[in-house]
């Protein structure tokens, strides 16, 4: 099955509304390849401004987090209905910074994912190991445990149509040290095989798995050439329009080359 690659830009806690608008305008001024699904995830405060600029363009709007309740006394949180009202199509859940810095547990991530899916948002589920866990040979045990917890009550149809998995080794996020293409492919392939067992071969083949962790224009092509790497969750480089566009184009070219090789 040919999966449409997806590249999402996670702007994290960066950008005023004016700065976010400037980045968005520059991206819209370029012809972003329509064969790659592109998602922008600005800070909550810039969602409305960015969403208005994106309008009916092919670039989609996403949020960096989502709460599991629809409304209520949850100071500082934001719900799926509120995000949908702002025009969001995606929500990131379980990002390593949320897990590591803010104590989000697997159970909390699972509730956030279910809330997103139940309210018609697509979830970008982040999983990944720390450097210490990798050194101890626990990479797959950690990733599998995160997958099991998050997908425990997710139906196959929702998983295939509303969910993206982002493998983001914690040791590669914001460090400038990305996983090698071989390391990324190894984990992505294990995730794909696990999804076969959890859902079905058809569902697993339809679920896109992104790589996240110091993805840049100069390493994107090699990473995206891997058969089970279906795109990228981009951090810092997504704040630089030219770099982000180069990553999107590298993703398209790598996948097209892979399809040509497979069919020849």
The strand pairing partners of 38, in sequence order, are 7, 59
Cβ atoms < 10 Å from Cβ of 72: 8
Selecting among 97, 104, 168, 249, the annotated active-site residue is 168
According to DSSP, residue 75 is labeled T
Q: How far apart are CA 38 and CA 127, in angstroms?
A: 20
Q: Decide if 67 is catalytic.
A: no
Selecting among 37, 95, 104, 188, the annotated active-site residue is 95
- With contact defined as beta carbons under 8 Å apart, do 261 and 251 qualify? no
- With contact defined as beta carbons under 8 Å apart, do 61 and 88 qualify? yes
Cβ atoms < 10 Å from Cβ of 142: 18
Q: How far apart are CA 12 and CA 235, in angstroms?
A: 7
3-state secondary structure of 102: helix
Q: Which residue has the tokens 């460090």?
A: 175
Provide the H-helix boundaries in the chain.
17-29, 47-54, 80-85, 96-102, 106-118, 131-135, 139-150, 156-162, 181-198, 201-206, 220-224, 241-263
Q: What is the largest CA-CA distance in the chain?
A: 58
Q: Decide if 95 is catalytic.
A: yes
> Which residues are identified as catalytic?
95, 168
């Amino acid at each position: 099955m040919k999966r449409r690659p997806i590249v999402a830009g996670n702007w994290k806690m960066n950008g005023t509304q004016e700065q976010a608008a400037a980045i968005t305008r520059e991206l819209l001024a370029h012809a972003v390849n329509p064969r790659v699904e592109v998602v922008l995830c600005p800070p909550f405060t810039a969602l409305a401004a960015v969403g208005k600029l994106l309008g009916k363009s092919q670039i989609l709007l996403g949020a960096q987090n989502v709460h599991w309740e629809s409304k209520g006394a949850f100071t500082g949180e934001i719900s799926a209905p509120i995000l949908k009202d702002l025009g969001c199509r995606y929500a990131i859940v379980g990002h390593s910074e949320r897990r590591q810095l803010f104590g989000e547990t697997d159970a909390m991530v699972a509730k956030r994912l279910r809330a997103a899916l139940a309210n018609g948002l697509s979830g970008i589920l982040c999983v990944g190991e720390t450097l210490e866990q990798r050194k101890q040979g626990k990479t797959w045990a950690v990733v599998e445990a995160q997958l099991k917890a998050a997908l425990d009550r997710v139906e196959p149809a929702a998983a295939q149509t509303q969910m993206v998995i982002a493998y983001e080794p914690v040791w590669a996020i914001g460090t400038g040290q990305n996983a090698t293409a071989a390391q990324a492919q190894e984990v992505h392939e294990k995730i794909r095989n696990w999804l076969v067992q959890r859902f079905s071969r058809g569902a697993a083949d339809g679920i896109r798995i992104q790589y996240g962790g110091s993805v840049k224009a100069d390493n994107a092509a090699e990473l995206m050439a891997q058969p089970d790497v279906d795109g990228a969750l981009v951090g810092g480089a997504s704040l630089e329009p030219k770099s982000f566009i180069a990553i999107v184009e590298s993703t398209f070219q790598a996948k097209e080359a892979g399809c040509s090789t497979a069919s020849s």
